[in-house]
Structure 1
Amino acid sequence: MGQEKNSNFEIGIYTLADMGPDPFTGHTVNAKQRVNEIIKAAQLADEAGLDVFGVGEHHRLDYAVSSPAVILAAIARETQQIKLTSTTSVLSTLDPVRLFEDFATLDLLSNGRAEILAGRGAFIESFPLFGYSTNDYDELFTEHMDLLLQLNNNKTVTWSGNFRSPLKDAEIAPRPLQEQLPIWIGVGGTPESAVRAGKFGVGMALAILGGDPNRFKPLVELYRQAGKEAGHLPEALQVAVTGHTYIAETSQQAKNEFYPYYSNYWYYVNRQRGFGTKMTRNEFEQMASPNTALFVGSPEQIVEKILRQYELFGHRRFLAQVDIGGLPFEKVEKNIELLSTEVAPRIRKILGN
C-alpha cells in the first residue's frame, strides 16, 4: 500500500486545478469533474505513501478551486496520513482570521495534517473581488502574514494594522490539533520575498518552473541568512521545491507524451496574461534538458534532478505538479504511481531513510 517514509525529506504532489482543453480533443472537463479528480488524486497519493498533497487558490472560471480549505476538508475525510496544504493561499486578499480558522478546522478534521502555504498569487483578480488595491500589493501581504503568525501563536490576539479593523483580546477559535499550524511562504524568484520569509521564520517554498536551478541558490542563502539574523533557529528555516513534473518509463516517452500538454498549458496561461505564443518542440527540448529544473523524464532522471537540487538547496520537501495542460486523468494516475513507486523510494534510500 505505501512506502516507509523518511522523516527528513518529503515528496508530494499539488494541483492548481486549472481547466484547460485537451490539445487533442479540444474537450475541457467541467469544475465538478475536475474537483472529483483532485479528490481521487489525493486518495491515490495517500494510499501510495506520498507525504503531502496541495491545492491552489484562484478566482477565475478556468480554475476549479477558489477555496482550498473546503476541497482539503473533503480530502481529509477520504485520506489517512498525507499532509494537506494550500499551494498557495493568496494571503494578500484573504482575511487572516478567516484563513487561520478555516485551516485550524481542517486540522481538527484531518487529525493534525493541515498546513498553510501563503503567497501573493500569480493573478490579481482577487484584489477587486475582495475590495483591495494592487497598489498595496506588498504591504498587504506583509501585514496579513504578521497577523497570521500572531493568530497561530496565541489563543487571544490584540493587534492593529492599516488594512483591517483592529483586534482587542479577540478569541481565535478553534485551535488546531497541532500546537501550531506549519506555515510556509511561496517564493517565485525575488530576493525580497526570500528575505521576508526568513525574517518571519517560516518555511520557504520555491516555485522553480524552468531554467537552471543554480539561479535559485542565492535566494536560499538570503533566506537562511535573514532568518538567522532575525533570531530564528535553523530547523525552523525549511525549504521546499515545487515544479512541473511528468514521468514515463523512458525519457523519450516522457517528452513525447508531455510536450503537447505542456505547450498547451503555457499557451493558455500566457493568454490569460495577455499574450500567447506556442512553445516549439525545440524550446521544450531545451526546457527539459538534464541540467534544467523541469522534471520531465524517466524515474532515474527525476531522481537525478531532485538530488542535484538537494545538493544546491538542502531542501526537505519536493512537490510535483502533475496535472496541467488538460492531461487526461489516467496519465495523472500513472505519474502518481511512478512518483511513489519508482522515484520516492530511491530518494528516501539515498537521503538516509
Structure 2
Amino acid sequence: MQFGIFTVGDVTTDPTTRTTPTEHERIKATVEIAKKADEVGLDVVAVGQHHNPPFVASAPTTTMAYIAAQTEHILLSTSTTLITTTDPVRIAEDYATLQHLTDGRMDLMLGRGNTGPVYPWFGKDIRDGIALAVENYALLRRLWTEDVVTWEGKFRTPLQSFTATPRPLDGIAPFVWHGSIRSPEIAEQAAYYGDGFFHNNIFWPMSHTKQMVALYRRRFEHYGHGSADQAIVGLGGQVFMRANSQDAVREFRPYFNEAPVYGHGLSLEDFSRETPLTVGSPQQVIERYAAMADHVGDYQRQLFLVDHAGLPLKTVLEQLDILGGEVVPELRKIAAARKPAHVPDAPTHAGRLAAAHTQQTEEVAR
C-alpha cells in the first residue's frame, strides 16, 4: 500500500501570526515539503492544479519535474490534473515527457476541479463538465496507446494522422487515477477502463465514501477487469498530530477556525467526527486510518493533506517527521497483514512493465 501527501498549493494567512507567505515562498515550500516526504520514506507526493488565487499550483508538471530532480524514491502524482479544461493533447505530451524525466516515477490523477470560473477562462462551459471529462479522457488514452490518431469529437478541433510526442516510456502509458468526490459518472469511467479510482473524501462522511467506492468496485468487476476487491482504490485524508492529543487540538484549532476550506462552519469536533480529519496523537491517527479498510475494503493508496490552512513550513515538516517516523510504518504493517494475496499492490511503472513482459512471454509461448 502506498502512503503519501497531497497539496493544493493554497496561499493562506497564518491566523496565529497574521503573516501570509508570498507566492515565491509557497512554491519553494512545496518543494521542501516534497523533499521531506521523500526523506522520511513516504511513497507519494501529489500536487494540485489551480488557475486562480489564492493558489499557486498552476503548472503541476513543472513543479513535479523540479521535485523529481531533487528526490530519489518518491513517486510524483497530481491532485488533480484538470481533464475538463486542459487540452488532452497537452496532457498527453506533458505527462509523457515527465514520465521520461522521472524514469517512470510518476502517475496522475484526473479530475474536474472545484473552481467554476476556470471553465470559461479556457473556453469551456461548466455544464459540460462530465461530457468533457469523458470525451477528453477517451482521446487521451488513444494518444498514449496509438502511434497515429485520427479523431473527431465535440469539444476540440479534429486530429488527422496525429502523433503525440514523446511516446510513453517503455510503451507503458502513465497510470491514471480518476479523482471524484460526488460524481458516479467518474467512478463508472474509472471502472470502464480498469483505471484507479481516488475518492478524495476529506469533506464527506464515510457512508458516502463507502457508497462511491462500492459502485466503482461493482462496475470494475462488471467490465471484466477482475473481482470487485481487486479494483484500485485511493482515499484522501487530513491529519494534525502532536504527542499529546490535547496539544494537537489546541494548536490546530485556530487554523481550522479560519481556514477558507472549512472555517466558520462546523466545529472542529463535529468536522472530525463526520470526516476523515483526525487531530490528535499519532496513535489516534493510526487507529482511525487502519479502520478505513473496514469501510471500503483493502485499498492501494492513502494520501494526507498536511500543508493547508496557513500552517507554517516548520510545522508541516514536523508533521511529516511524525507521519513518516511513527504513523506510516504502523499503517504499512497493518495493511500488509490484512491484505489478501489476490488483491493487487498499488500500480507502479516497474510493476506494470514487468506484467507487460510476462504477458508477452506467455503469448509467445502459446
Match in the other structure for 1:346? 330
The runs of at least 4 consecutive aligned structure 1 residues that moved more than 3 Å come to: 233-236
TM-score w.r.t. length of structure 1: 0.90
Structure 2 spans left out of the alignment, 5+ residues:
338-366
Tell me by how many angstroms 1:83 deviates: 0.6
Identity %: 35
Match in the other structure for 2:221? 228
Aligned length: 334
Partner SS for 1:351: helix
Mapped contact 1:41–1:333 kept (Cα < 8 A): yes
One of 76, 86, 91 as aligned partner of 1:84: 76
* Residue-by-residue CA offset, 1:133-180 (whole Å, 9 max, x unaligned): 122121111111111222232232222211112223311111232512
Tell me by how many angstroms 1:220 deviates: 1.1
Say if 2:246 is the partner of 1:252: yes
Match in the other structure for 2:212? 219
Mapped to 1, the partners of 2:98 and 2:238 lie a distance apart of 27
Partner SS for 1:352: helix
Mapped to 2, the partners of 1:227 and 1:160 lie a distance apart of 28
Mapped to 1, the partners of 2:180 and 2:80 lie a distance apart of 10
How large is the RMSD of aligned CA atoms in angstroms? 1.8
Partner SS for 1:243: coil
Mapped to 2, the partners of 1:279 and 1:134 lie a distance apart of 27
Match in the other structure for 1:5? none
One of 238, 255, 277 as aligned partner of 1:261: 255
Structure 1 spans left out of the alignment, 5+ residues:
1-8, 271-276
**Cα pair distance change 1:210/1:124, threshold 3 Å:** closer
Match in the other structure for 2:22? 30
Match in the other structure for 1:299? 282
Match in the other structure for 1:273? none
**Cα pair distance change 1:228/1:327, threshold 3 Å:** same
Say if 2:116 is the partner of 1:124: yes
Mapped to 1, the partners of 2:256 and 2:80 lie a distance apart of 21
Tell me by how many angstroms 1:189 deviates: 2.5
* Residue-by-residue CA offset, 1:286-333 (whole Å, 9 max, x unaligned): 2224x7421322111111111111222121110001011100011100
Tell me by how many angstroms 1:203 deviates: 0.6
Mapped to 2, the partners of 1:77 and 1:253 lie a distance apart of 37
Match in the other structure for 1:41? 33
Q: Give the letter aligned to residue 237 of structure 1.
A: A
Partner SS for 1:300: helix
Mapped contact 1:119–1:187 kept (Cα < 8 A): yes
**Cα pair distance change 1:69/1:236, threshold 3 Å:** farther
Match in the other structure for 1:3? none
Tell me by how many angstroms 1:231 deviates: 2.5
Tell me by how many angstroms 1:236 deviates: 7.1
Partner SS for 1:93: coil
* Residue-by-residue CA offset, 1:208-243 (whole Å, 9 max, x unaligned): 114531331121111011122223235873100012
Mapped to 2, the partners of 1:201 and 1:252 lie a distance apart of 44
Say if 2:296 is the partner of 1:315: no
Match in the other structure for 2:6? 14
